Each structure stands twice: as structure tokens, then as C-alpha cells.
Amino acid sequence: MTINGHHHEQNKIPIHLISGFLGSGKTTLLNRVIDYYKAADIKAAIVMNELGDVNLDGQFIDDDVPMAEMLGGCICCTIRGDLGLELKQLIEEHQPDVVLIESTGAANPMEIIDAVTEAALFIRVDLQTIATVVDGPELLVRSRRGGRTYKLMQDQIRCATDLIVNKADKLNPEELIEVQQLIRELNGYAPLTMTVRCMTELNMFDLSPKDHTDAEYRQLHGKHVCGANCRLEGHDHEGVQHSHSHDDESQEAHASHAHVMSFTHYFAGPVDSHSFEELISRLPQEVYRAKGIVTFSDTNSRFLFQYAYRELEFTRITPQGKVNDVAVFIGEHFSRSLLAQELAQLQ
């Protein structure tokens, strides 16, 4: 049987993460997305994470939608290891077309990206969207005060592929502009919409967002500045687009699909170790992390690989049970299609 790349793509279950500070409107957005899927006859499942032991928000979610509740800790730290298992169970039991994760407001999205991509080692999932709901008025208040909470809000904004700036009804025109400017300094890429009760177009939650063409890629690539380590402070913001005029909006929405932070590839079979290493060494610097499991055809052995800070490491493994041959790439604004092509050529 030949398994082509396309078939593989279709086998991955898209995951969309809804991030954002406490009380920003994540549940409000989640409900809209659920209705959106319902209208399109798309079967969704949800993972909800709460710091407390009761899922209050979950009470307001449609009963028909399968939900995994992860309570009593934050998926980005204390119960992070459970996320993969929860996802696996949810997917196996309900076979959804798509999974939505609502994280706690305290979660650092970088850690969740890590946890979801770890899960990709044993289930076919692909983290496609990080939609960050920003509490507009709260962001302004926090920006004047600084501190750790503000830092977390900044991280959530930096890592977003889509930004929903909510509670616009509580901002005057000058504040609306100030909020947008603040956000654009942190993330010049993600399309941004100002909303009241998260009322916005939801195409970022579509099942297969369009990948960028090479031309779009080059254009974005040229503008890319917000550095690889989006967690780090004091990175260079020079050249980041600041505010977008209204005319840019359609263009911006188009580019939204171009913003990618993770890409998961499932190998159809063993690959040559030299070609694999060569591919990794040629990764653009926008890809700052990769990990996975590969089987090498030339040595007939299986390895866990880790790539970080441009260093590649292998650990020989003999996994118990079924584990996929898979590679997960994490980074900012790199081209999924270029990478997919190169990986396909390995086979």
C-alpha cells in the first residue's frame, strides 16, 4: 500500500489552543467556536483546564460536545504530563474531527506547545492555532504596573497565531489605539481583531488552514524579526509592524494562515540517517526546536531525537507498545509546505 503525504496530512487531528489571561473571554470564545463547528457539522472535542477542582466554565458548554476536564492544576506545569494521555483517550473514544483546548489563564503557552507536541509522539495530532484572547482594559492596567502578571500576558500575546482583543466596549477610542500598539510591539504577525464578547470571524479554527505560498513566505520571512526565543525578554523588536490600518485587514487575514508555530510529520517508514541529519542541519533558524522518533533504514535502529539550540541529539530506544515515527518542529513563521516537501523527499 502506498501512503502519500496528503493521506497522512488528513490523518492528523488539528488542535486549536485558546489561551488568554483569567477572565479575558476564553470560554465566551470557546462557545462561539463550538457553535461554528456545529453549524458546519464538524465534530469537536474539548479539553478544559482549571486551576481549581471544579470546572465552573464547563457548566456553560454544550452537553453534546465530548469534554476532558483537567482540574486541580495547570496543564503548563503541574499536570502537564497528563495532557497527552487525556488527548489520546478523548480522541480514541470520540474520534473528533478537531480538538479545542482551553488553558487556564495562568498558563504559559510555550509550555503548552511543548506538552501538545510531546503528545504528538503517540497520537496523530497537529497544533495549528494558538488563539490568545486579550483582555483589553486589563492589558492597559497591567502595562502601567508591570510585574509578573504583565509578563505572562506578554508571553501569551507573543506566542499567539491569532489575537482577539476583547472587551472593546470598555475602551475609549484612544485606549483602543494604545492597546493595539502595545500588542503590535509584541507580535507583529498574528492577525488582530478587536471584539466585544469575542464576536469575530472564526476561520482560524477551520480544519485545514491554508499554508502559505512560497511568495507569501518570502514576504513574511523578509519582515520576520520577533526572534526565535519568544519567551526571552529584551529581544529585538526593530522592524516589527506597529499598527495596521483598516485597509490592511483583508491582507492580514490572509497572512494569518501563514503564521505557523508547530508542524508535525508522521514518517511512512524508515529513513536514511545521513539524509535525516542533513535535513536537520539545513533547518532555518526560525525552527528552534524539533523532536521525535525515527527509524533509520541504514542501521535498522530506532531513535528518539532532540533538536534545540541548533544541536541534534539521539537516544537509542526500544519502545514498548505502539509508538509513531514522527517529527515535531516548533518555531516561528517557518514554511510548513517547504518542510513537508523536504521530509517527503526523505522517504
Ligand X SMILES: Nc1nc2c(ncn2[C@@H]2O[C@H](COP(=O)(O)OP(=O)(O)OP(=O)(O)O)[C@@H](O)[C@H]2O)c(=O)[nH]1
List interacting residues with ligand X (CB under 6 A).
20, 22-28, 57, 105, 166-167, 169-170, 196-197
- The least CB distance from residue 250 to ligand X, in Å, is 24
- The least CB distance from residue 226 to ligand X, in Å, is 25
Closest CB to ligand X among residues 7, 170: 170
Beta strands in the chain (DSSP E): 13-20, 44-49, 67-70, 98-102, 125-135, 162-166, 192-194, 262-266, 287-296, 301-308, 311-316, 326-331
Closest CB to ligand X among residues 205, 217: 205
Joined grid coordinates for residue 176? 483602543
- The least CB distance from residue 201 to ligand X, in Å, is 16
Q: How far is residue 182's CA from residue 255's CA, in Å, rounded to a whole number? A: 20
Closest CB to ligand X among residues 57, 175: 57
Joined grid coordinates for residue 302? 530506532
Joined grid coordinates for residue 338? 517547504
- The least CB distance from residue 131 to ligand X, in Å, is 12
Closest CB to ligand X among residues 91, 165: 165
- The least CB distance from residue 249 to ligand X, in Å, is 20
Closest CB to ligand X among residues 161, 335: 161
Contact between 85 and 3 under an 8 Å Cβ cutoff? The reply is: no
Cα–Cα nearest to 116, from 79, 84, 160, 158: 84
- The least CB distance from residue 21 to ligand X, in Å, is 7
Cα–Cα nearest to 159, from 307, 20, 257, 22: 20
Q: How far is residue 322's CA from residue 106's CA, in Å, rounded to a whole number? A: 34
Half-sphere exposure of 3 (CA within 13 A, CB side): 10
Closest CB to ligand X among residues 91, 100: 100
